[in-house]
C-alpha cells in the first residue's frame, strides 16, 4: 500500500519517515517529493508498505500527529496508479 504523508517538516528526511513507519511494519519504499525547479522539499512524501493492515495501523498512529514540530497528515494515497484502488 502506498501511503501519502503531507504537511511534513522540511527537515524531515527519507530515513526519518522510514524509521517512523518501520515501527508499525516493514517499509518497502519511502519517497519525499522535492521540487525539480527549486530543489526544495514540497512538504509531502510517500511511504510504501508491504502489508495493508500495518500500513493502515501506521496511518492511524501517525496521522494528525506532531512530528518535528509539524502536524503531519498521513493517509492512503488516492492518486496515480500506485494505489490499491483505481482512480475514478
Partner DNA sequence: GTTGAGCGTT
Residues that bind DNA (CB under 7 A): 2, 4, 6-10, 31, 33, 36, 42-44, 46, 48, 70, 73, 75, 77-80, 82
Taking alpha carbons only, the member of 72, 66, 74, 80 closest to residue 49 is 74
In angstroms, give the least distance from the CB of 61 to DNA: 16
Give start and end residues of each alpha helix (H) in 1-88: 14-22, 52-62
Minimum CB distance to DNA smaller for 57 or for 76? 76
Instruction: Return d(Cα 50, Cα 57) in angstroms, integer.
Output: 12
In angstroms, give the least distance from the CB of 55 to DNA: 13
Amino acid at each position: 500500500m502506498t501511503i501519502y504523508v503531507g504537511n511534513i517538516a522540511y527537515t524531515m528526511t527519507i530515513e526519518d519517515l522510514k524509521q517512523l513507519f518501520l515501527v508499525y511494519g516493514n517499509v518497502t519504499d519511502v519517497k519525499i517529493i522535492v521540487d525539480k525547479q527549486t530543489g526544495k522539499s514540497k512538504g509531502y512524501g510517500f511511504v510504501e508498505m508491504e502489508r495493508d493492515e500495518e500500513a493502515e495501523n501506521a496511518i492511524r498512529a501517525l496521522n494528525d500527529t506532531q512530528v518535528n514540530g509539524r502536524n503531519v497528515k498521513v493517509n492512503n494515497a488516492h492518486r496515480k496508479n500506485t494505489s490499491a484502488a483505481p482512480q475514478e
